[in-house]
Amino acid sequence: MLMELVLNTFGTSLSRDNEGFVIRNHDGSQRIPVAGIRSIQVGKGAQISSDAVLLAMENEIEVVFMDRAGNVMGRIWSPKYGSVSTIRKGQLSFSFGHEAVKWIKGIITRKIENQQAMLLMMNTEGDMRLQNIIDKNINRLEDYKSKIATLEGEIVNDISATLRGWEGVASKIYFDTINVFLPEKYRFEKRTQHPAMDPANAMLNYGYGLLYGKIEGALIKAGIDPYVGVMHRDDYNRPVLVYDVIELYRVWVDYVVFSLLCQNVVTDEHYSVNDDDSCWLEPLGRRVLIQSVNDYLDEVVEKNGVERSRLTQISLYAQNLAQVFKKYA
């Protein structure tokens, strides 16, 4: 199985040694052959040499640069990848047509269905009060699915404001419910992003950042331009299509974070709180979360009678989406 090389500790460096990489940090050095690497993730305070970057490009290994919160700040990939002109033409036509309305409604509906499935996994331990909370809020989410089904418009702009509003309310219902089942130490008042104000949100934000990177990479490899979005269009020079597609998969990060918090894996050493009360993952916390997310994405599961890893499911979705866009070129 290919691995992701993560450089997220201050002072860590990656260089080239013939046809392999060498990691150096305060513990010493380690040589890693190229053949075992899928991608390289570089965090703040880590270094990568130009020779190591060139070796990665030669072997079609993507290099992703991430900030402290897990946001992808940039990437370097092989020149063989990049948007294909026919796909991009079709992508632009699609995003401004009526089919995009059905597509984005389907994306948000799937997101809510995933949230309902996550709530059904909560262990009420026979407590009727907790079971009633689950049942009530699953039904509330069902109401929003019904509203989305009846929402009509010729183009996405006709429905985007309403759809975003309903999506936001549904997500609040979902996270308010999940919160009830977290250990008391990790419960949070609301979702916070820039910055996170508690460990749970810090982990969710960083996990979503990891997922953004995987989805953006899959779109690029499929020949899709990640900067041409459908519902998310307004952020200039941002990979807005990733913001659309990620809604299908956010629940995977939710599950990993919820599991880590409930299993008491997270300790005070995994995060720190600044003077402004913002919460940030420390290198140990990032390492645990990265490994847990990667393990979950690499796990082989059955879908539609076929066994594939979750990461492969993302790649196949991107490839299928590229074929859809081609039809509109």
- DSSP 8-state assignment for residue 239: -
Q: How confident is the model at residue 75 (pLDDT cuts 50, 70, 90)?
A: confident
Instruction: Flag whether pLDDT at 2 surpasses 90.
Output: no
Peptide bond preceding 195 in cis form (omega within 30 of 0): yes
Reading the block at residue 228, the tokens are 């041409």
Give tens-digit pLDDT for 126-152: 899 999 999 999 999 999 999 999 999
Residues 152 and 257 in one domain: yes
SS3 of 162-216: the string is HHHHHHHHHHHHHHHHHHHCCCHHHCCCCCCCCCCCCHHHHHHHHHHHHHHHHHH
Instruction: Flag whether pLDDT at 314 surpasses 70.
Output: yes
Quote the CA–CA distance of 269 and 251 in Å, as a whole number.
26
Residues 44 and 99 in one domain: no
Residues 89 and 228 in one domain: yes
> What number of residues does the chain have?
329
Q: Is residue 303 part of a domain?
A: yes
Spatial neighbors of 255 by CB under 8 A, at least 6 apart, are 118, 121, 296
Q: Measuring CA to CA, how many Å separate 234 from each of 5, 155, 237, 260?
A: 33, 15, 9, 34
Residues 54 and 169 in one domain: no
Q: Is residue 212 part of a domain?
A: yes
Give tens-digit pLDDT for 20-48: 999 998 889 999 999 889 889 998 889 99
Q: How confident is the model at residue 83 (pLDDT cuts 50, 70, 90)?
A: low
Give tens-digit pLDDT for 249-294: 999 999 999 999 999 899 999 999 999 999 999 989 999 999 999 9
Q: Is residue 280 part of a domain?
A: yes
Q: Is residue 76 part of a domain?
A: no
What CATH number should be reported for the domain holding residue 241? 1.20.120.920
Q: Is residue 71 part of a domain?
A: no
What is the domain count for the chain?
A: 2
Helix axes 156-180, 128-150, angle to 10 degrees: 180
What CATH number should be reported for the domain holding residue 58? 3.100.10.20
Residues 60 and 90 in one domain: no
Residues 60 and 122 in one domain: no
Residues 57 and 170 in one domain: no
Q: Is residue 78 part of a domain?
A: no
Q: Is residue 72 part of a domain?
A: no
Q: How confident is the model at residue 3 (pLDDT cuts 50, 70, 90)?
A: confident
Q: What is the domain extent for residue 186?
A: 85-326
Q: Is residue 301 part of a domain?
A: yes
Residues 38 and 161 in one domain: no
pTM, entire model: 0.90
Spatial neighbors of 71 by CB under 8 A, at least 6 apart, are 209, 212
Residues 91 and 202 in one domain: yes
- DSSP 8-state assignment for residue 268: G
Residues 139 and 182 in one domain: yes
Residues 24 and 96 in one domain: no
Residues 46 and 135 in one domain: no
